């Protein structure tokens, strides 16, 4: 029985508006399946859909008592029409007695069946939907082209709406008929679009599967390569670890060989220079042994030549005086002979004057040469002292400190420290190792004080990173009385050695050096915690191989706290430092001095003056004890400039500003940094 008829039946059964309807339906079914009365052609077309519909209803959950009429009708074709009518009438009445909920369950089962068929059509592409043939006459709306399968019959019976003419006893629903045609056309179009989309998606999926397969192959190859590289890298690292001790040994051996050669060369040069310039001799006076300098042959020859010139000069001057005594007065002798004597006198006097001038030139040449040799003698004395300190050092046997730093040659020695040139075997660069030694005779309190001082210097210096400040790389302990700080190595000289070799620098060179020093000071005063160097002097300005000046030695540095006022911080280490380069406020004894970056400004002014004029402006020839005793710096209220050499007014004005006596009027580092003389601009 078609679904629309069942729906119509269900609605009529629930309303119970027509009591004779079950009889009519029973007669209709009997006529559809019975053999007593032949069915017209239209009814024959309806028989197969009716069976399909009832079977579909059974398939989608229709109660068994509703599915039985179809089977009983098919199996009992020989029975009479009366029996079928009576049996169907009883069944319809039995169904009519059921609760109204059975009708609703039937409707829901039919709806669920339709939904499942639609989903089945979407997944399978419903290719058979395009082959459907719509019915054009009465009773053909539920039929299909030819005899299809049972599934197709059920599908068409669920999707289409059966319409039967009232004259044959069938129910007719025109609204369902119109909707069925539009739905059929809609489903066909929608299924075609879905099928095309599914085909497109399947093609994309196939392409993506191919790409995925290729990607998996590439991933597998990359993984294999990665595993191979990891294995090779591990082998290289293992080999490197095995070769590292050998490589370190080879490098250290080469460095030691070079250092030994340098030591031999330095000692041979000292011996050769000692023959020319002199040597240190020992003088014993009772129980007192003192050292004295003995000049070499060149200096002895120069001194002898100089003495000979002085003797010749004195002899010429005596002859000239004797000539003047023999010269007659201008009023005596008016004859021709006296005229000849006058001419001879003038010629002889001119000869003596010429000889004196020649002696003076030779004397100047000898003095210049002697000064040059004096400078060489000074370098020789320093080198001899360095060699002696190196021979007496306990680190002169090329030790490797902290499994990293290979000590080479001694660079210099201070009061409580030694500085060695070393090589960093990890970073592969030259460094300067400053070895701090504590005197075993010191008290424990003094040792702790020195250690605190060194740690304080390290904490200040380690945070400073600037190209005009020497870097501090590392610090470590060697033993209970010795520790080491590792510094940046500067292969050039320090400013002190430069000024000893060339006491007076050209203003152009002095200017670029002081500009670099001020750039380092500006960096110290632009940090979060400002730093006062407090010990600027020529020995604390180093040069690298390219001539870049770098400030070093922060042993006396001060950190200015944030709460310090404009006057500065209290000086707690009064008496420390190098007196020639400290300002007057550091020598006040009546009260605790207040210092700021103006201390470094004063020191920089002294340095610049010394570079330009070859001497310090205050206390040049005095010792530190005498400076302190005679209050030399406290009385240094005005700076004087010599007439030679010639220096620009801009340079003199900068020095005057730096050496302003009154601390309150003296500019600080950041203020004087704007001085035009300290800035370079393209002309």
Active site residues: 535
* Cα-based distances in Å from 443 to 52, 573, 632: 118, 20, 35
The closest alpha carbon to 349, from 328, 321, 310, 313, belongs to 321
Helices (H), ranges, 76-173: 81-97, 100-124, 150-159
The closest alpha carbon to 142, from 156, 125, 127, 128, belongs to 156
434 is an annotated ligand-binding site residue = yes
Query: What does the DSSP assignment read for 258-283?
Result: HHHHHHHHHHHHHHHHHHHHEEEEEE
Distance, CA of 605 to CA of 639 (rounded, Å): 11
Query: What does the DSSP assignment read for 475-518?
Result: EEEEETTEEEEEEE---S-BHHHHHHH-SS--HHHHHHHHHHHH
Q: Is the C-alpha dihedral spanning 600, 605, 608, 609 positive or negative?
A: negative
Distance, CA of 60 to CA of 57 (rounded, Å): 5
Query: What is the 3 state secondary structure string of 538-596?
Result: HHHEEECCCCCEEECCCCCCEEECCCCCCCCEECCCCCCCCHHHCCHHHHCCCCCCEEC
Distance, CA of 210 to CA of 221 (rounded, Å): 17
Name the phi and psi angles at 543, rounded to 5: -125, 140
SS3 131: helix
b/e sequence 497-513, b meaning 16+ C-beta within 10 Å: bbbeeeeebebeebbeb
Is the peptide bond preceding residue 645 cis, with omega within 30 degrees of 0?
yes
Distance, CA of 353 to CA of 328 (rounded, Å): 20
Binding residues for ATP: 434
**Binding-site residue positions:** 434
């Amino acid at each position: 029985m078609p679904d629309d008829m069942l729906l119509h039946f269900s609605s009529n059964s629930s309303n119970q508006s027509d009591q004779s309807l079950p009889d009519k339906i029973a007669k209709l079914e009997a006529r559809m399946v019975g053999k007593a009365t032949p069915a017209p052609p239209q009814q024959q077309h309806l028989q197969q859909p009716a069976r399909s519909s009832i079977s579909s209803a059974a398939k989608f959950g229709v109660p068994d008592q509703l599915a039985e009429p179809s089977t009983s009708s098919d199996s009992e074709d020989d029975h009479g029409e009366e029996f079928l009518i009576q049996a169907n009438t009883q069944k319809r009445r039995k169904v009519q007695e059921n609760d109204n909920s059975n009708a609703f369950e039937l409707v829901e089962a039919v709806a669920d069946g339709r939904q499942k068929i639609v989903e089945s059509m979407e997944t399978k592409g419903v290719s058979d939907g395009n082959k459907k043939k719509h019915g054009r006459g009465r009773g053909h709306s539920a039929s299909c082209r030819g005899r299809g399968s049972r599934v197709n019959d059920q599908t068409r019976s669920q999707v289409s709406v059966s319409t039967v003419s009232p004259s044959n006893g069938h129910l007719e629903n025109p609204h369902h008929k119109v909707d069925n045609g539009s739905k059929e056309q809609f489903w066909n179009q929608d299924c075609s679009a879905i099928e095309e989309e599914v085909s497109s998606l399947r093609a994309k999926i196939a392409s993506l599967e191919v790409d995925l397969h290729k990607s998996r192959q590439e991933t597998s190859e990359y993984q294999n390569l990665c595993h191979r590289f990891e294995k090779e890298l591990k082998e290289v690292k293992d080999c490197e670890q095995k070769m590292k001790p050998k490589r370190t040994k080879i490098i250290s051996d080469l460095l030691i060989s070079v250092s030994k050669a340098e030591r031999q060369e330095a000692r041979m040069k000292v011996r050769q220079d000692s023959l020319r310039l002199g040597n240190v001799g020992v003088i014993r006076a009772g129980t007192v042994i003192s050292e004295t300098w003995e000049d070499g042959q060149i200096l002895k020859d120069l001194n002898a030549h100089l003495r000979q010139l002085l003797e010749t000069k004195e002899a010429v001057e005596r002859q000239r005086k004797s000539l003047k005594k023999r010269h007659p007065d201008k009023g005596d002798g008016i004859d021709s002979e006296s005229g000849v004597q006058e001419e001879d006198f003038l010629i002889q006097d001119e000869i003596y004057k010429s000889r004196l001038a020649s002696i003076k030139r030779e004397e100047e040449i000898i003095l210049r040469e002697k000064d040059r040799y004096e400078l060489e003698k000074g370098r020789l004395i320093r080198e001899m002292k360095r060699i002696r300190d190196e021979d007496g050092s306990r680190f002169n046997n090329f030790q490797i400190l902290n499994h990293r730093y290979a000590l080479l040659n001694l660079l210099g020695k201070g009061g409580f420290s030694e500085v060695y040139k070393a090589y960093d075997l990890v970073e592969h660069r030259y460094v300067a190792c400053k070895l701090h030694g504590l005197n075993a005779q010191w008290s424990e309190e003094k040792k702790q004080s020195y250690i605190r001082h060194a740690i304080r210097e390290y904490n200040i210096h380690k945070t400073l990173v600037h190209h005009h400040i020497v870097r501090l790389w590392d610090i470590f302990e060697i033993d209970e009385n010795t520790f080491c700080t590792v510094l940046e190595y500067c292969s050039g000289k320090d400013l002190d050695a430069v000024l000893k070799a060339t006491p007076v620098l050209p203003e152009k060179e002095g200017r670029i050096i002081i500009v670099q020093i001020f750039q380092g000071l500006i960096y110290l005063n632009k940090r979060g915690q400002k730093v006062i160097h407090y010990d600027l002097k020529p020995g604390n300005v180093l040069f690298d191989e390219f001539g870049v000046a770098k400030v070093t030695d922060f042993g006396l540095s001060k950190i200015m706290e944030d709460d310090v006022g404009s006057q500065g911080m209290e000086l707690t280490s009064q008496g420390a430092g190098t007196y020639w380069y400290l300002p007057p406020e550091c020598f006040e004894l009546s009260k605790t001095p207040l210092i700021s970056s103006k201390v470094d400004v004063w020191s920089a002014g002294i340095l610049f003056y010394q570079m330009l004029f070859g001497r310090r402006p205050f206390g040049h020839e005095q010792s530190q004890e005498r400076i302190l005793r005679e209050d030399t710096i406290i009385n240094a209220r005005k700076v004087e400039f010599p007439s030679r050499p010639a220096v620009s007014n801009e340079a003199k004005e900068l020095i005057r500003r730096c050496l302003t006596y009154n601390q309150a009027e003296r500019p600080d580092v950041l203020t004087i940094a704007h001085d035009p003389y300290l800035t370079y601009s393209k002309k």
